[in-house]
Chains A and B, each alone.
Chain A
Amino acid sequence: SRRLNMHTQSTCSFFFLYDGSKVRGEGDPTREGICYFYPEETPLDRQELLCGQLAGVGRCVSELSVSPVRVLRLRRDKFAIRMKDDLFWALGTSVEVPTVSVCALLDQLINLFRFYNGSVRRSYQIHSRETLAARWAQYLSHLQSGSSELHHIFSCLRTIDSTNVDPLLLLKAALILQACQRCPLVLAGCVLFRGRVVSTQMSPELTMKAMVHESETYVKVGTTPITSHATPLKDTPPRKTRLSRTLSDVPSTESDPPDPGSPQPPQNLSFGPVPSQGAAESLSCPDQSPSSNGEHGAEGEESRYFSFQTAIEEDVHQSGDRGDTACAEASQSQDRKVSGESGGGGPPPGSSSGAEEAPLVPMTLYLHRVKSLVLVLLVEQHFLSDSASMEEVYHSSLASLNGLEAHLRTVSPAAPGAPGPYSFAHFDCVQSTLTANVSAAPGGAPERPFVRAVALLHSHFSDSASLQEAIIRSAGAAVYGTRSVAQETFFQQHGGSLRNSGIPNQQDSCFSLPSKARHRLLKHGVNLL
């Protein structure tokens, strides 16, 4: 009855951020340290109990081992932990979820927060807990929304089913992105359809972050699609140089304060982290709206685009020069980073000793929606004030986007459910995408044995660098797993007789799984040869 886990349908049963620096003295109530707690309806004394005990025991263990705690297990729940200075994050799931997946989920969540808000500690200095609570909630729901158990196991991107789509459409999407990149202020982009990736130029981590607002809006059809964005960061190492160079190449635009007259997108107040009146947020929502559909469509479909930026991170000196109040304030609160350099100097090259983590660079996300299709572009901050560039991007992509949307809409979603003669899951580790023929929706009973085996094998693969192949058999299922540096593939043959004595026997059907998998999966574009 005192079960911790009350949200069985979502992966995450608990998530909290606890700030130990707020609870120093004997008399300080634990609640002072609770920055955010999910589920929010958890009684406060229960929140205090979990935060206080876990953070306390975490600190004790960390001191004994001179290393932060990473995983904490209870009998019924498993917590991924992050400890940084006095901040303590914990994300709890049921013990069934592979540890590696829980840890990945927590890291994604924290990185997502930092992506849109910059330094966590500073965010809490600038914004109210309520404001940030809404954001944590949004990110958490984004990471868990609409995806299957298999997606949680691999922490992968949600993509459209490419086997079901004319390859020319994918090519078209890629071309749209390339066309946008002709504008030097556009760094990279992705095209999303119904909350799934059609094409992306960004790393999987970055794409996943850029999708936050889109998937949120897609899930809640009917609302206007826009919210706040900024600051891509360190998790795109390959592109880092380019970002830096671009930043320093472009001379800082002198004082281009946001146009107070810009129409606000009031619709977006209905969800997500509303660009609050917080000091660090400068709204710049040029409603140039050469809107294709005009006003809100009947189903809330429209093609307008908005964009505005939020937090600014340390290390970014030029912010102050821009005359942007928000930026100026942000700069004041940073400790050692601000140098006397003039704007346009670019971020200090990599050497951010003492910074919270990797240095953050302010950026802006530009979202352009055409009904269920969204073009997301990562752009330089001053893209928004450069109307020529905006026009150029807008016009170069508009027609193609409309066409692409129309085509994608006619593609019927692959009918899941009809259980084939086999189950498979193929995870591309490089692109972080999953191809599978099981829906593995929570509670999908027939697929349980397969999903369970995949979870175990994936954990095993993550633990052991030298393991290449495995066949495991229980009374209910024989599952084959194989992996290389680039992929992990899992296969289960249905039907036929599972009856066997379990004694070694070369006639045993489970040992023919590797060859069956090679054969069967070719038509799914999975080459195991």
Chain B
Amino acid sequence: MKCLLIASESAEVLFHWTDPEFHQTIQEQYGASQEEGQGLPAFEDSISTLFAPIIISCSTMVDRLGDNYTSFTTESNHIYVLHQIDECLFISVNGDGEEGEDDLRRKIYVMKKMLEVLFGMVTLSSTLLRKQLRPQDTEQRARLWKHLQSLLETYCHLQQNDQSFLVEAVERLIHPTLCEQYLLALIIMAQNMYPSNVELDDPSPEDAESTSGSGPESFYTPEPSPTDFIGSVRGSTPVFEFVDPDVQMAEDSLQTLEVPSPDPSNPRRVFLEVSLKEGLYPMMPHSMYCLPLWPGISLVLITKIPTSALAMSVYKYLEAFAKLEKRLSEGQEGSAATRGQPTIHDVRNKLDKFIKALGPRDIKSAQLQNVWTEFKNRAFVRGGPGFNKDLIPWCKNMKTQLCGIYRQSFLLDSGPADTQQRLSPSLQERAQSMLQEKLMDWKDFLLVKSKRNITMVSYPDFPGLIHFICVDRSTGQMIAPSLNVTERTTSELGKGPVAQFIKNKVWNLVSTTRRYLQKGYSTVTLRDGDFYFCYFLWFENETGFKLEAGDIPILPDVSAPIGMLAWDYYRKLLRYYSKSHQGEVVKCYELLTVHLGVMPTEIILQHCRQLASKLWEPSRNPLL
């Protein structure tokens, strides 16, 4: 029994997803509370009515106590996790014992991340996000919600079945120019476009060797200097400069079915973080093409779009107004409120030019112009109110207007102009066929690898070792033996239930060690039933020298879940740790192992030691 609900403060449903059991429960309960003879109302109304008291109580608690609910647990172990982001309240429910509080919180954060990838800076304005999530047109709304629902389901499926989504790292991705956070998000989208059906499409190992069935996604990341890239797209020569021609994959996961795919030439708009010389720019618009190469193998192309300079400007202004608002609400006034980089006067000049360049071409920019004029009158005119608390609503208003411009530029279909930004069909075809040609000899190998990338058989020197996962957090790579758990596949773990049992142990271990890590424990060993689990997190410098274990921040229970997809915990951890190791490149590793409990601890630790030092040596690279 599962549910995820996004609601506004006034208990308006902005999005809902329920599994069939929860759906039925809601309808039964709502039906019971209705007069007889009335037909069942729209599901949206039922769920909104039943959750309304909770949602309204949340607002009251925030307003009057400055605190808010974070979770409820019932005696039957139903769990409700609540998380408020600006004016949107996320509620995630589990009633079947399959997910804990951490899982539910993670689901909420991942949902939020997906919204950011889909809507970019629009998510920074609650007003606009509400509009975006709940289009007036009911058909459009149904379509959008269905899309989000299926993304969520795809994520849950991957999280439950794919080790790389379990630990939120990508397997064997050599030089990611996108951080794994976004890669994982894109994999969810790609997987959602070409959904998999494990039952149908899980081949026995023999089948897998003979092509058909499933395979990994391959990811090619564009040159980190996107301006060049765009230029070449516009020109006639297709210049694809792949950073690294290695084929990368997320293991185990991305089996696809031969289903009629969405028109591949129609790119999806995605908003990704871009790292430039001037700094990090989050939520920059890109186009995502998902081109099928063979059943089970797709090419995902990400292109920057020509007008993305606009997005960068909008982001800079948003940041400036947010900073100003923060200072004003902290009680700073006058020049104390306006200091900082860039200065407000800089912003003023640039924004004047920016608005001028936008031109009076439509309502949105006219509105921005009006609000900006009013802002200037209040802030800059001699004898006017100046920089004080009264300016806060105008900062908010400016942010909303800027987000509106952004929304109009990047999220609303603007007809033919939009098509111009696309890769031409011939170009796409060329990319596709070029890749097919290059990968022809690799195809079958990849398909097999996707199922059985590394197997435990490759580790005969480790008696008693059942499973391990090793993650290089500085690059977001992971290595782990495949875990095949379906009835038809026999792995070293055995068949069906046994493998499933061990899989569950691994999943539990990851969530347990995350809880300890959250509280500052970087080494954990557990004797649990017939098993012995180990978890280690450590730091090294570039030459492989082991750095001293330092303090790891202790986080509150309700902080964002540890991982990369929801919140780039490890990047922050590295930054935190590097502070005490200036001038050194710090790397961070994690190792999880599952051993038989009968093994002597010394042997187990020796195994861990060997795995930790050997796994990243080139000779152990299982792909080479």
Residue in chain B with minimal CB distance to A504: B608
Mask for B519-534, Cβ within 8 A of A = 1, else 0?
A: 1111111111100001
Distance between Cα atoms of A117 and B597 in the complex (Å): 51
Distance between Cα atoms of A65 and B60 in the complex (Å): 23
CB of B538 within 8 Å of the partner chain: yes
A474–B608 touching, CB < 8 Å: no
Distance from B589 Cβ to chain A, minimum over Cβ atoms (Å):
8
Distance between Cα atoms of A502 and B608 in the complex (Å): 12
Known interface pairs A53-B60, A502-B537; A69-B73 also in contact (CB < 8 Å): yes
What chain A residues lie within 8 Å of B591 (beta carbons)?
A: 504
B556–A504 touching, CB < 8 Å: no
CB of B24 within 8 Å of the partner chain: no
What chain B residues lie within 8 Å of A410 (beta carbons)?
A: none
Distance from A5 Cβ to chain B, minimum over Cβ atoms (Å):
10
Residue in chain A with minimal CB distance to B57: A57
Please provide the chain B residues from 506 to 556 with a CB less than 8 Å away from any CB of chain A in the complex.
512, 515-516, 519-529, 534, 536-539, 546-552, 556
Residue in chain A with minimal CB distance to B26: A64
Distance between Cα atoms of A49 and B95 in the complex (Å): 29
CB of B80 within 8 Å of the partner chain: yes
Residue in chain A with minimal CB distance to B546: A501
Distance between Cα atoms of A74 and B60 in the complex (Å): 13
Known interface pairs A72-B72, A475-B550, A505-B609; A467-B528 also in contact (CB < 8 Å): yes
B528–A499 touching, CB < 8 Å: no
What chain B residues lie within 8 Å of A61 (beta carbons)?
A: 54, 72, 74, 78, 80
**Which of A49, A73, A468, A504 gathers most chain B CB within 10 Å?**
A504
Known interface pairs A470-B526, A499-B548, A505-B605; A4-B54 also in contact (CB < 8 Å): no
CB of A353 within 8 Å of the partner chain: no
B525–A503 touching, CB < 8 Å: no
CB of B421 within 8 Å of the partner chain: no
Residue in chain A with minimal CB distance to B508: A464
Residue in chain B with minimal CB distance to A452: B519
Interface of B is mostly: mixed
**Which of B74, B552, B612 gathers most chain A CB within 10 Å?**
B74
A53–B57 touching, CB < 8 Å: yes
Distance between Cα atoms of A509 and B71 in the complex (Å): 39
Distance between Cα atoms of A346 and B556 in the complex (Å): 53
What chain A residues lie within 8 Å of B512 (beta carbons)?
A: 460
A472–B75 touching, CB < 8 Å: no
Please provide the chain B residues from 584 to 624 with a CB less than 8 Å away from any CB of chain A in the complex.
591, 601-602, 605-606, 608-609, 611-612
**Which of B50, B51, B64, B534 gathers most chain A CB within 10 Å?**
B64
Number of interface residues of A (CB under 8 A): 56
CB of A469 within 8 Å of the partner chain: yes
A502–B68 touching, CB < 8 Å: no
Distance between Cα atoms of A508 and B548 in the complex (Å): 13
Distance between Cα atoms of A500 and B536 in the complex (Å): 12
CB of A67 within 8 Å of the partner chain: yes
A69–B72 touching, CB < 8 Å: yes
Please provide the chain B residues from 479 to 526 with a CB less than 8 Å away from any CB of chain A in the complex.
512, 515-516, 519-526
B523–A510 touching, CB < 8 Å: yes
Distance from B541 Cβ to chain A, minimum over Cβ atoms (Å):
11
Distance from A90 Cβ to chain B, minimum over Cβ atoms (Å):
12
What chain A residues lie within 8 Å of B547 (beta carbons)?
A: 501
CB of B69 within 8 Å of the partner chain: yes
**Which of B75, B606, B609 gathers most chain A CB within 10 Å?**
B75
CB of A220 within 8 Å of the partner chain: no
CB of B66 within 8 Å of the partner chain: yes
What chain B residues lie within 8 Å of A474 (beta carbons)?
A: 519-522, 551-552
A502–B536 touching, CB < 8 Å: yes
What chain A residues lie within 8 Å of B78 (beta carbons)?
A: 61, 64-65, 67
B521–A501 touching, CB < 8 Å: no
A49–B72 touching, CB < 8 Å: no
B516–A472 touching, CB < 8 Å: yes
CB of B341 within 8 Å of the partner chain: no
Distance from B158 Cβ to chain A, minimum over Cβ atoms (Å):
26
B606–A62 touching, CB < 8 Å: no
Distance from A468 Cβ to chain B, minimum over Cβ atoms (Å):
5
A interface residue numbers (CB < 8 A to B): 2, 4, 49-50, 53, 56-77, 95, 452-453, 456, 460, 464, 466-476, 478, 499-506, 508, 510-511
10 closest Cβ contacts across the A-B interface?
Answer: A504-B608, A502-B549, A501-B546, A67-B76, A502-B538, A469-B527, A506-B605, A65-B78, A466-B529, A473-B523
A-B contacts besides A67-B76, A460-B512, 10 pairs, CB < 8 Å: A65-B74, A69-B75, A468-B527, A469-B527, A474-B520, A501-B549, A502-B523, A503-B612, A506-B601, A506-B606
List, sorted by A's number, 30 A–B pairs whose CB atoms are closer than 8 Å.
Answer: A2-B67, A49-B65, A50-B65, A58-B72, A60-B53, A61-B78, A65-B76, A65-B95, A67-B75, A72-B73, A73-B557, A76-B67, A453-B521, A460-B512, A467-B526, A468-B527, A468-B528, A469-B525, A473-B521, A473-B522, A473-B524, A475-B550, A501-B547, A502-B539, A503-B546, A504-B605, A504-B608, A504-B611, A506-B606, A511-B601
B interface residue numbers (CB < 8 A to A): 25, 29, 50-51, 53-54, 57, 60-61, 64-76, 78, 80, 95, 512, 515-516, 519-529, 534, 536-539, 546-552, 556-558, 591, 601-602, 605-606, 608-609, 611-612
